[in-house]
């Protein structure tokens, strides 16, 4: 089991300097990764661009892994995302992890800024976008004529990490197609279908999720399962153990900046991960 800390990218965490300090403190406290949300306008202001913040975090740290959890890939210009991810992977010396999803079209920030609110279109954009993104990471010439994206290039310089930057895909249990998508990549961020109402996935639901995904994997490479949760301190390990027992490989400790203030966040980071 590995351990990550995640913050929002708004309210008091909408500050790249502060996030770089928190990432450094997390590295010093023994966390394995520091992740952040990726929203344009979800909660309070200020809101920081995740790529600017992650770059500052990369410069302030040496070993901790970093990444957005998650970036709504259908909202992204894929060649620009390829440049951003490769640049950050090189800046961090191969420490980037990329969490992706279709994005929840019910959130106003998507349609309010001109993005499609159609779930089927967003899912199709996610699949095609992932194929194009990884082709651009290859370092080889790319000619892509798809339904949503058209790209022709002699090739981009590849990232440090090979065969690619690890990709984790968000999927809501028990929807099958998102789980099948996640099986094609390097890890899954399993969410409950009612996550928006504050309901988290249970250990039993996670066990069923892992079983479903494993049956559809075509690769024998290691596969990550990231479970999100909240603990009081480093000694609060009962929930962590329950999820590890059914197959979670990462515990991602979250804070909600509209409920937990900066003092709480700093103290929880400094307390260290709830290792079992």
* pLDDT for the residue numbered 109: 85
- 97 confidence band (pLDDT: 50, 70, 90): very high
- Would you say 20 and 14 are in contact if contact means Cβ atoms under 8 Å apart? no
Is the predicted pLDDT of residue 90 greater than 50, yes or no?
Answer: yes
| Region of poorest pLDDT, from 104-118, 164-178, 205-219, 233-247 | 104-118
* pLDDT for the residue numbered 199: 62
Query: What does the domain layout of the chain look like in residue ranges?
Result: 2-169+198-205+229-271, 170-197+206-228
Of the candidates 65, 41, 68, the residue with the CA atom closest to the CA atom of residue 52: 68
The neighbour count for residue 103, using CB atoms within 10 Å, is 26
pTM value > 0.85 = yes
Is the predicted pLDDT of residue 237 greater than 80, yes or no?
Answer: yes
* pLDDT for the residue numbered 194: 56
Considering the domain delimited by 2-169+198-205+229-271, tell me its CATH architecture. Alpha-Beta Barrel (3.20)
- Would you say 196 and 170 are in contact if contact means Cβ atoms under 8 Å apart? no
* pLDDT for the residue numbered 112: 87
- The strand pairing partners of 68, in sequence order, are 36
Beta carbons within 8 Å of 221's beta carbon, 6+ residues apart: 186
Q: What are phi and psi of 177, to 5 degrees?
A: -60, -45
């Amino acid at each position: 089991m590995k351990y990550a800390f995640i913050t929002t990218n708004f309210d008091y965490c909408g500050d790249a300097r502060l996030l770089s300090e928190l990432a450094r403190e997390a590295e010093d406290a023994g966390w394995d990764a520091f992740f952040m949300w990726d929203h344009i306008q979800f909660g309070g202001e200020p809101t920081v661009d995740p790529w600017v913040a992650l770059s500052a975090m990369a410069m302030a740290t040496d070993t901790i892994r970093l990444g957005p959890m998650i970036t709504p890939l259908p909202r992204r210009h894929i060649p620009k995302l390829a440049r951003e991810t490769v640049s950050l992977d090189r800046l961090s010396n191969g420490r980037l992890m990329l969490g992706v999803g279709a994005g929840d079209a019910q959130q106003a920030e998507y349609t309010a800024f001109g993005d499609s609110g159609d779930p089927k279109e967003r899912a199709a954009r996610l699949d095609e976008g992932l194929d194009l993104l990884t082709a651009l990471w290859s370092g080889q010439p790319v000619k892509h004529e798809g339904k949503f994206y058209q790209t022709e290039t002699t090739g981009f310089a590849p990232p440090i990490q090979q065969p690619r930057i690890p990709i984790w895909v968000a999927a809501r249990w028990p929807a099958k197609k998102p789980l099948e998508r996640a099986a094609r990549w390097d890890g899954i961020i399993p969410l409950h279908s009612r996550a928006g109402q504050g309901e988290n996935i249970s250990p039993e639901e996670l066990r069923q999720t892992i079983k479903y995904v494993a049956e559809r994997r075509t690769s024998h490479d290691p596969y990550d399962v990231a479970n999100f949760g909240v603990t009081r301190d480093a000694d609060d390990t009962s929930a962590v153990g329950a999820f590890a027992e059914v197959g979670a490989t990462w515990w991602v400790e979250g804070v909600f900046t509209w409920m937990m203030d900066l003092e709480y966040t700093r103290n929880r980071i400094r307390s260290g991960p709830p290792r079992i």
